[in-house]
Amino acid sequence: DAGITQSPRYKITETGRQVTLMCHQTWSHSYMFWYRQDLGHGLRLIYYSAAADITDKGEVSDGYVVSRSKTENFPLTLESATRSQTSVYFCASRTGTSGAYEQYFGPGTRLTVT
C-alpha cells in the first residue's frame, strides 16, 4: 500500500545487540529522516538523507548508522544497543521540491533495550 511504513513496530532487545529498524516509502521522496521521541525531549533528529547514497548526521547520531542504497529504503542500525536508546523511532520523508518542506511520518517503532 502507498505511504511510509516501518518495521518492526515493536522490538525488545538486549544491551549490546545490533538492531536494525526498517523504513520504506512508496512516494519516491528524495528526503528521508530518522527521529527519536522521548518524554521531555520531543522529536530529535538522528540522521537524514537527501538522496540515495547521501546521508548526514542530526543532533543525536552517536551510536547509530544509516544507509540509503535505494531511494525508497532508509534503514537505521543501532550498532550496540544501550538502555538510553530505548525510545520511539519515527521515520519521515518529503519531496525534494523547493518550498515543499512538509514531512510525512511512518507509524513508528517502539524499541526497548533491556
Contact positions vs another protein (CB under 8 A) = 31, 33, 35, 37, 40-43, 45, 48, 50, 56, 58, 88, 90, 101-108
Cβ–Cβ < 8 Å for 6, 75:
no
Q: Output the smallest distance, CB 90 to another protein, in A.
A: 6
Within the chain, residue ranges assigned H as helices are none
Q: Provide the pairing of β-strand 109-113 with 10-13.
A: parallel
- In the complex, the smallest distance separating the C-beta of residue 97 from another protein, rounded to whole angstroms, is 13
Q: Which is nearer to another protein, 8 or 16 (CB)?
A: 8
Which of these, 101, 80, 111, 89, lies nearest to 29 by C-alpha position?
Answer: 101
Query: What percentage of the chain's residues is helix, strand, coil (to nearest 5)?
Result: 5, 50, 45
Give least dist CB 102 to another protein, A.
Answer: 5
Least CB distance to another protein at residue 16 (A): 27
Beta carbons within 10 angstroms of residue 53's beta carbon: 11
Query: Would you say 91 or 113 has its CB closer to another protein?
Result: 91
- Cβ nearer to another protein, comparing 55 with 78: 55
